Structure 1
Amino acid sequence: MSTILYARVSTSEQTIEHQQSHAEKELGIQFDTVISDDGVSGVAVKLKDRPQGKRLFDILRAGDTLVVRWVDRLGRNYSDVTDSIRELIQRGVVVKTVINRLEFDGSATDPMQKAVRDALIGFMAALAQAQAEATKEAQKAGIEYAKNNGVFKGRKPSFTREQLDVVISMLASGESIQCISNKMGISRAAIYRIRENPARAATALDSWKL
């Protein structure tokens, strides 16, 4: 049985090393294999269509554990994420996330347990797609504003785009502002601003080209 980390690195501030060290620290495990797709869109490219995503489906076997930072590393398309996770757990693979420490497997036999598991998979997949769409809209709004009014950068964000994605995910899961601040090393004031207007936070990163 193997424990495999899958990472999707889509921006310059994201690194496979960061995702690996964060996962090992949070879960207290060592990985047998680390697989990464670099510069691949989680919206436009399905997991099975990515070079290393395809390899992932080839090597995973019953009893293996697949770890991802969050479900958005598998994809930001609802159908793709739900189909991928369900296929893997039907194979006997356990899927774990570092953020929120969610665990999906096919061991449930009770219909209610299955329903709860499947509902959670669907909710997390929908959240990943919603975040991608919100970020895209924020980018469009920021570009339009800059064209019409000139560029006004405002305060430089104290967080990276990767950190913004993580904070939004943690907020959605109900974690407290203080807990997120402690884990991410970001001020509570910045997290409050993200919670109040995540689209504005994304636009600020675009304005500073971060």
Structure 2
Amino acid sequence: MEVIIATFFYARVSTVEQSLDHQVSQANDAGFEIDEVIADHGVSGVQHILKDRPEGKRLFDKLRHGDHLVVRWVDRLGRNYEDVTDVIRHFIRSGVTIHTVINKMTFDGVTTDPVQQAVRDALIGFLAATAQAQTEANKIAQRAGIEAAKRNPKKYPGRKPSFDRLKTELVRNLINKGLGTSAVAKEVGLTRQAVLRIRDDPQGVEAALQRWDM
């Protein structure tokens, strides 16, 4: 029985800035002939390991001994050191050869020399650690950016109020007429919490309306 060897390209497209077509084109330009593309869209590599992703888990069923798995970089497989190393080593033990588009790196289980195996495993560990370190660096940069923006309210206005200036005035008029907060909320179409905020925090409400130019 003839064994058919296939080359799979796996992509994780987690943001609108990324593109599946672009990742596949990069692989083709690098000389890879892809038989099938498997992609997860809108899935975080931090929150979801490969086995838990809708399409990623299919790789564990589809890949056979002798097949090739192409990824743009190891971070497509995961953002956690243990996850990435476990996935790569699992596929290698299954006879799958893994290729990266960036730098055209190859990982397989061909070698039986213990020294070469150690070098291979060390490189896998280094790349997996780099992927996790990059994720941590991005988190720190993101938090720093948010904190900097918060110091400039015009750049970080906070959550948009559920009420506008017209509803704010309507709420105040109804409260002044003696209506209870629940009745006011029902009449204006706001939550009771929003009505309480308008009643109890006039300065904060005004600041929020100004930040959103409302």
Q: TM over 0.5: same fold?
A: yes
Q: Which residue of 1 aligns with 2:130?
A: 127
Aligned partner of 1:147: which letter?
K
Output the aligned Cα RMSD: 1.4
Quick one: which of 112, 115, 132 aligns to 1:112?
115
Secondary structure of 2:70's match?
strand
Residue identity over aligned pairs, in percent, reads 65
**Poorly superposed stretches of 4+, deviation over 2 Å:** 149-152
Aligned partner of 2:91: which letter?
L
Unaligned runs of 5+ in 1: 153-210
Secondary structure of 1:51's match?
coil
Count of residue pairs the alignment pairs up: 152
Q: Which residue of 2 aligns with 1:29?
A: 32
TM-score (norm 1): 0.70
Aligned partner of 2:45: which letter?
G
Give the alignment of 1:25-174 within 5 angstroms.
25-26=29-30, 28-150=31-153
Q: Which residue of 2 aligns with 1:5?
A: 9
- TM-superposition CA deviations, 1:122-157 (whole Å, max 9, x none): 0000000000110011000000011124567xxxxx
TM-score (norm 2): 0.69
Pair 1:89–1:151, CA change in 2 (3 A) = farther
Pair 1:98–1:151, CA change in 2 (3 A) = farther
Q: Which has the higher contact order (CA 8 A, sep 6+)?
A: 1
The 1-side partners of 2:72 and 2:80 are apart by 16
The structure whose Rg is larger is 2
Secondary structure of 2:37's match?
strand
Quick one: which of 15, 20, 24 aligns to 2:24?
20
Residue 104 of structure 1 deviates from its aligned partner by 0.3
Aligned partner of 1:131: which letter?
Q
Unaligned runs of 5+ in 2: 156-214
